[in-house]
């Protein structure tokens, strides 16, 4: 069996891995249509030989040409693949570099084989099967196609019998009139034959009706599975992926094929019913009086199924997102470009270039009228687009790449106070279209998830909190845009994975159970709410825990994401637990955690130090984003100097629990800037280091934090003149810091 056919048996997650191999490199539609031919070529040799690559390129164009001519001969141009379009794509993208084509296909074929081999090993060599629900649906779709073929045969037999009976009756009557004789014997034989054929026609009509009922019932089950089960599940996966969940929210090729196959069957059933009605008018069956009514009911049922399927086929495949906030979709800013993609999952030749989709902001939104101060927006330009075939997915798609919003009616000063803040005000974008087919008009629309429109970048953290909360508290089909008038609470079981996803999205590492436990205590407090819920106001308002978490997320993203990803940062651990963890560890053991006192995000490290009275736990004053912008955390760890009783050393030896510092951080160190080639007369080179001198824990309660202004340190080259004549300040006493046991000092050495 061909390799591609084996790949089509895999589940959707593995098929998505295959699709990603080709994404942006080679259309999967061509790979699918020419699977046997592509696998028969030696792409590995062609990838390293220009002549062989050119030969394979020409052979591919010739094969596409042959397939096109075959479509013309078989009169299947509209039903078959668009081979001229495929050929044009190959010429445009690979004519100048056939080696590139060979390299891509060679690599993809090898990767496909590795995926199949890895799955076979995982399954112990047993055949790979798809998920049960997909297997059941695919079997149902296959049965639909087979039953449709049988139905078409029966309808053709019925048509032939009816025409034959009509011919016999008409020809015998003509012959009797011409000869003007009474052909008693011939008449009896003809009537007997006609009666026999009429019975056969009546029986065939009953078989056809039974077949129609069976096909429609099977199709109804498929429509229900697709629109009532699979599509809502996909929407929920997409909703969760928008707020950071690692779930796969892609619409792979096979899902499009399922929608298309069922729609094709329903449209064909409609055509067969119309043929039957025409036949029944031409050749009525007196002994089947209820036939007309039965066919009318079936046609009505078929149209309803078709309407339900097509109404659900338009989806927002990629939710609105601004280019500068790729990890935070559904937040839009007025006047700033954003993009969104819609797809129609029924890709039939009759629909190509016919579906024009228009986006409408807040269409039919009751909140615009009922909520005081609810802002109104419109698009900066008309963004209506005609859906076209996406070669990589096979769907009818429109990508809106340059959309932006403008406010139509802003809040007026002195007017009644708005019931919602800007970041709690939810909006929606609807994509609407009309499809004319077979004399019927289908009104189709799809809606984005609820989104927030901001006017300032400072509002983004609060807006993201609203997006997370609304999506976690509501279903994927919910359009409750006034949710924050009376926001529902979330349980910790809902909030914990949501917070973990944020760190996975930013730093490729989720939160572990210990980190979540620390956050749970900080968010819910002791004692927690009696109903066990976290309320919106407590999470998001004023100096909220969310603003603190968001500051840490920003710090990870900008400065320490590799350290977070690789588990070097313990992160969320309280001061009490820090002391508990380090108390029994050897001198020099340290751990890295986030500061609890700095709202904008800061990081610190604590270590075990030997003193006259025994072991002590020390910690440095937290590094803010300003410090980290001029000194990386790994370099700070390596350059940190502790001076006690005139003796200086670096106290950081083992990363908790017992990893030598070099093993943990050597690969992250940033090279120190090399000294200038020409030394300036009377000046010496400088570098930033951190020194702590004779540390002692500050008195309790702690004094307010020192605000370290490092704006002047951003340009290191300009500091030589500034500090060259200053005396050594290391003997000065260290001021108290914001948390017990914290000390730290930037100096120029």
Q: What is the 3-state secondary structure (H, E, C) of 523-562?
A: HHCCCCCCCCEECHHHHHCCCCHHHHHHHHHHHHHHHHHH
**Domain range enclosing 652:** 573-748
Q: Is the peptide bond before 318 cis (omega within 30 degrees of 0)?
A: no
Q: In this structure, are 214 and 345 located in the same domain?
A: no
**In the chain, what percentage of residues exceed pLDDT 90?**
30
- Which stretch of 110-124, 210-224, 382-396, 661-675 has the lowest confidence by average pLDDT? 110-124
CATH of the domain at 110: 1.10.532.10
The confidence score (pLDDT) of residue 240 equals: 93
Q: Is the pLDDT of residue 221 over 60?
A: yes
Q: Which residue has the higher pLDDT, 347 or 555?
A: 555
- 3-state secondary structure string across 94-122: HCCCHHHHHHHHHHHHHHHHHHHHHHHHH
pLDDT confidence of residue 731: 35
Over residues 548-599, the pLDDT tens digits come to: 999 999 999 999 999 999 999 999 998 889 999 998 899 999 999 999 888 8
- pLDDT above 80 for 361: yes
Across 647-666, average pLDDT: 89
Domain count, the chain: 5
Q: Is residue 568 part of a domain?
A: no
Which pairs from 100-103 meet CB under 8 Å and 24+ separation?
Answer: 101/26, 101/53, 101/56, 101/57, 101/60, 102/43, 102/46, 102/47, 102/52, 102/53, 102/56, 102/57, 103/47
For residue 359, pLDDT beyond 50: yes
Per-residue pLDDT, 420: 87
622 — pLDDT class (breaks 50, 70, 90): very high
Which range is least confidently modeled, 169-178, 188-197, 289-298?
169-178
- The residue among 398, 224, 390, 393 whose CA lies nearest residue 309 is 224
Helix, strand, coil percent content, the chain, rounded in steps of 5 = 50, 15, 35
Residue 360 in domain: yes
Q: Give me the numbers of helices (H) and strands (E) for the chain, helices first please.
A: 25, 24
Residues 419 and 347 placed together within one structural domain of the fold? yes
In the chain, the largest separation of any two C-alpha atoms, in whole Å, equals 140
- Looking at the fold, whether 417 and 520 belong to one and the same domain comes out as no
* Contacts for 613-619: CB closer than 8 Å, 24+ residues apart: 615/583, 615/587, 616/697, 617/578, 617/579, 617/582, 617/583, 617/741, 618/651, 618/692, 618/695, 618/741, 618/743, 619/575, 619/578, 619/739, 619/741, 619/742, 619/743
CATH (domain of 555):
1.10.238.10
460-473 vs 492-507: helix axis angle to the nearest 10?
130
Q: What is the pLDDT of residue 127?
A: 43
* Predicted local distance difference test score (pLDDT) of residue 174: 56
How far the first Cα of the chain sits from its last, in Å, is 70
Q: Is pLDDT above 50 for 180?
A: no
Domain end point (choices 122, 154, 169): 122
Q: CB within 8 A of 305, min separation 6: which ones?
A: 216, 219, 220, 223, 266
Render pLDDT for 507-523 as a digit per residue (tens, 0 to 9).
Answer: 989 999 999 999 998 88
Is 388 domain-assigned?
yes
Residue 144 has pLDDT above 90, yes or no: no
Distance CA 310, CA 435 (A): 9
**pLDDT at 721 exceeding the cut of 90:** no
Q: Could you tell me if 334 and 328 are in contact, meaning their C-beta atoms sit under 8 angstroms apart?
A: no
Is residue 391 a contact partner of residue 81, using CB atoms and an 8 Å limit? Answer: no
Q: Do 544 and 608 lie in a common domain?
A: no
Query: Residue 293 above 60 pLDDT?
Result: yes
Distance, in Å, from the CA atom of 49 to the CA atom of 54, rounded to the nearest integer, reads 9
The enclosing domain of 739 has a CATH number of 3.30.505.10
* CA nearest neighbour of 146 among 100, 213, 98, 211: 211
What is the rounded CA–CA span in Å between residue 100 and residue 96? 9
Euclidean distance between CA atoms 467 and 444, whole angstroms = 26
pLDDT of residue 730: 37
**Is the pTM value of this prediction over 0.75?**
no
Same domain, 534 and 595: no
pLDDT band at 718 (very low <50, low <70, confident <90, very high): very low
List the CATH number of the domain containing 288. 1.20.1050.20
C-alpha–C-alpha distance, residues 506 and 680, integer Å: 43
Which residue did the predictor score with more confidence, 1 or 434?
434
The enclosing domain of 405 has a CATH number of 2.60.40.630
Q: What is the mean pLDDT of the chain?
A: 78
As a whole number, mean pLDDT of residues 175-193 equals 54
For 411-421, the pLDDT digits (tens) are 555 455 668 89
What's the confidence (pLDDT) of residue 597? 86
The neighbouring-strand residues paired with 667 are none
Q: How many CB atoms lie within 10 A of CB 502?
A: 23
Query: Quick one: 155 and 106 in the same domain?
Result: no
Measured between alpha carbons, how far is 573 from 591 in angstroms, rounded to an integer? 10
Rounded to 5 degrees, φ, ψ at 363 are -70, 130
Residues 609 and 596: their CA atoms lie apart, in Å, by 22
Residues 500 and 474 in one domain: no
Categorize the per-residue pLDDT at 674 as very low, low, confident or very high, splitting at 50, 70 and 90: low
Could you report the per-residue pLDDT of 63-93, keeping only the tens digit for each? 888 888 888 877 777 767 888 888 888 998 8
* Higher per-residue confidence, 682 vs 357: 357
CB 702 within 8 A of CB 736: yes
Q: Residues 198-209: what's their mean pLDDT? A: 72
Residues 33, 66 within the same domain: yes
287 compared with 353, residue with greater pLDDT: 353
Crossing angle between the packed helical segments 98-122 and 83-94, to the nearest 10 degrees = 110
**Average of pLDDT values for 522-541?**
77
Which of the given ranges, 37-41, 346-350, 695-699, has the highest pLDDT on average?
Answer: 37-41
Residues 499 and 474 in one domain: no
Residue 606 is predicted with a pLDDT of 92
Q: What angle do CA 298, 302, 305 make, to 5 degrees?
A: 140
């Amino acid at each position: 069996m061909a390799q591609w056919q084996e790949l089509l048996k895999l589940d959707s997650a593995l098929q998505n891995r295959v699709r990603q191999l080709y994404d942006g490199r080679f259309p999967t539609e061509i790979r699918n249509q020419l699977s046997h031919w592509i696998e028969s070529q030696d792409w590995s040799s062609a990838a390293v030989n220009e002549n062989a690559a050119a030969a394979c390129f020409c052979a591919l164009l010739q094969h596409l040409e042959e397939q096109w001519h075959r479509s013309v001969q078989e009169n299947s141009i509209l039903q078959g693949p668009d081979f001229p379009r495929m050929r044009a794509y190959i010429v445009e993208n690979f004519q100048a570099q056939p080696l590139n084509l060979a390299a891509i296909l060679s690599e993809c074929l090898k990767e496909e084989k590795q995926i199949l081999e890895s799955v076979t090993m995982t399954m112990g060599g047993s055949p790979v099967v798809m998920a049960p629900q997909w297997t059941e649906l695919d079997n149902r779709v296959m049965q639909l196609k087979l039953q449709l073929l049988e139905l078409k045969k029966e309808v053709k037999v019925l048509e032939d019998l009816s025409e034959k009976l009509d011919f016999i009756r008409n020809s015998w009557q003509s012959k009797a009139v011409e000869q003007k004789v009474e052909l008693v014997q011939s008449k009896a034989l003809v009537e007997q034959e006609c009666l026999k054929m009429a019975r056969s026609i009546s029986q065939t009509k009953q078989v056809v009706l039974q077949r129609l009922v069976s096909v429609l019932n099977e199709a109804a089950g498929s429509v229900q599975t697709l629109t009532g089960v699979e599509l809502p599940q996909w929407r929920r996966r997409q909703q969760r992926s928008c707020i950071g969940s690692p779930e796969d929210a892609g619409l792979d090729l096979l899902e499009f094929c399922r929608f298309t196959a069922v729609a094709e069957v329903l449209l064909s059933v409609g055509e067969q019913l119309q043929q039957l009605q025409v036949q029944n008018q031409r050749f009525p069956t007196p002994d089947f009086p209820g036939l007309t009514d039965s066919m009318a009911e079936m046609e009505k049922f078929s149209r309803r199924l078709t309407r339900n399927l097509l109404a659900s086929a338009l989806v927002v495949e990629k939710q609105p997102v601004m280019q500068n906030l790729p990890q935070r979709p559904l937040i839009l800013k007025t006047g700033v470009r954003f993009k969104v993609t819609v797809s129609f999952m029924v890709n039939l030749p009759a629909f190509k270039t016919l579906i024009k989709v228009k986006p409408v902001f807040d269409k039919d939104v009751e909140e615009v009228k009922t909520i005081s101060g609810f802002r109104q927006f419109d698009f900066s330009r008309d963004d209506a687009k005609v859906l076209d075939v996406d070669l990589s997915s096979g769907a009818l798609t429109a990508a809106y790449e340059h959309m932006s919003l403008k406010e139509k009616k802003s809040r007026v000063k002195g007017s009644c106070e708005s019931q919602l803040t800007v970041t709690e005000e939810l909006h929606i974008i609807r994509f609407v279209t009309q499809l004319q087919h077979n004399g019927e008009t289908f009104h189709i629309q799809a809606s984005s998830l609820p989104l927030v429109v901001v006017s300032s970048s400072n509002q983004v953290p609060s807006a993201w909190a609203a997006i997370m909360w609304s999506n976690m508290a509501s279903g994927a089909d919910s359009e409750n845009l006034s949710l924050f008038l009376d926001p529902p609470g979330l349980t910790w079981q809902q909030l914990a994975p949501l917070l973990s996803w944020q760190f996975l999205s930013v730093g490729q590492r989720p939160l572990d159970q210990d980190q979540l436990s620390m956050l749970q205590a900080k968010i819910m407090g002791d004692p927690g709410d009696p109903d066990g819920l976290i309320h919106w106001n407590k999470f998001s308002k004023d100096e909220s825990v969310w603003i603190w978490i968001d500051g840490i997320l920003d710090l990870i993203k900008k400065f320490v994401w590799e350290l977070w990803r690789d588990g070097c940062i313990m992160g969320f651990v309280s001061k009490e637990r820090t002391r508990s963890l380090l108390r029994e560890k050897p001198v020099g053991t340290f751990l890295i955690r986030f500061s609890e006192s700095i709202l904008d995000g800061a990081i610190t490290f604590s270590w075990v130090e030997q003193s006259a009275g025994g072991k002590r736990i020390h910690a440095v004053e937290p590094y803010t984003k300003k410090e980290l912008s001029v000194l990386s955390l790994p370099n700070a760890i390596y350059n940190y100097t502790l001076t006690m009783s005139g003796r200086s050393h670096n106290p950081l030896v083992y990363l908790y629990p017992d990893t030598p510092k070099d093993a943990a951080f050597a690969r992250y160190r940033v090279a120190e800037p090399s000294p200038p080639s020409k030394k300036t007369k009377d000046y010496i080179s400088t570098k930033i280091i951190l020194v702590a001198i004779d540390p002692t824990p500050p008195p309790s309660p702690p004094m307010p934090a020192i605000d370290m202004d490092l704006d002047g340190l951003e340009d290191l080259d300009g500091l030589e003149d500034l500090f060259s004549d200053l005396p050594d300040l290391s003997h000065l006493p260290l001021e108290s810091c914001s948390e017990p046991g914290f000390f730290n000092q930037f100096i120029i050495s």
